[in-house]
Amino acid sequence: MMVMIEIGSIAMQLNRKAIKNLHISVLPPDGRVRVSAPEAMTDTAVRMAVIGRIPWIKKQQSDFAKQPRQSDREMVSGECHYLWGKRYRLNVVEGPGKHKIKLGRGRLHLHVNTTATVQNRALVLSSYYRDVLKARITELLTFWESRIGVAATDWGVKKMKTKWGSCNTQAKRIWLNLELAKKPPECLEYIVVHELVHLLERNHNERFMGYMDKLLPDWRERRDLLNRMPLAYNNWDY
């Protein structure tokens, strides 16, 4: 059951779950707070536990607020876009033929017809991101499923506002955030491993951390790198 509670000036989402320990998450990009608490924990105990973490919550929210953000996307030549953690300048090439993206030295060449709107251009780039991301995910899943000894029955890519990835452990279905195409490749690998490990352990407990430490010893550094990367404004469908 989900309810909204307010402690001081901070509003947060409270979820009651069949878990042993209380867990607090401060979610990107805007620092929304989510609290997962054991079903048997009293409201007073929840509030006391959260109050003790208020300084940490505010620090996390402050860090998100300071994170660099990309400006509004106008999809014009000279604009900066990211692919696998690297900055590329957009070069818009207008002419007949199929809309497409070609990668050059420090350039993303966007081929569109003269009538393409800003949103049309953004959708071409979105489609390109989706294609390159899916190709890389396919390679990673082939390697890591074999190494971990699990297999996702299905996976996909979609836009997500507050998560880099998710795993439905019952259906063994994994979703990965389209934005990962803009982040360094090691960040995508971390998220893929993270979600696959959930097929061994549903919760973020010591057992889960143990698997991550064994499989990907530098996962914390990869996580921190991902959270330091520029955030995007989601004005368009990409």
Q: Establish how many alpha carbons lie within 13 A of residue 91's alpha carbon, considering only the half-sphere containing its beta carbon.
A: 11
> Which residues touch 67 (CB under 8 Å, ≥6 apart)?
28, 29, 228, 230, 231
Three-class DSSP category at 54: helix
Please give the pLDDT value at position 238. Answer: 28
Which helix (DSSP H) or strand (DSSP E) does residue 103 occupy? strand 100-104
Query: Which backbone phi and psi does 55 adopt, to 5 degrees?
Result: -60, -40
Please give the pLDDT value at position 74. Answer: 81
Mean pLDDT estimate for the chain: 88
Angle at 68 between CA 64 and CA 71, to 5 degrees: 120
Residue type, 63: D
Residues in the chain: 238
Looking at domain 80-228, its CATH architecture is 2-Layer Sandwich (3.30)
In tens, the pLDDT along 181-202 reads 999 999 999 999 999 999 999 9
Please give the pLDDT value at position 17. Answer: 86
Paired tokens of 223? 């996580």
Helices and strands (H, E) in the chain, number of each type = 6, 11
Weakly modelled stretches of the chain, pLDDT under 70? 1-2, 29, 67-73, 230-238
Rounded to whole angstroms, the Cα distance separating 188 from 11 reads 31
Please give the pLDDT value at position 6. Answer: 85
Please give the pLDDT value at position 29. Answer: 67
Please give the pLDDT value at position 82. Answer: 92
- Annotated domain spans of the chain: 2-66, 80-228
**Cα 13 to Cα 9, 77, 158, 198, distances in angstroms:** 14, 42, 23, 23
In tens, the pLDDT along 18-42 reads 888 999 988 876 788 999 999 999 9
Distance from CA of residue 112 to its chain's centroid?
29
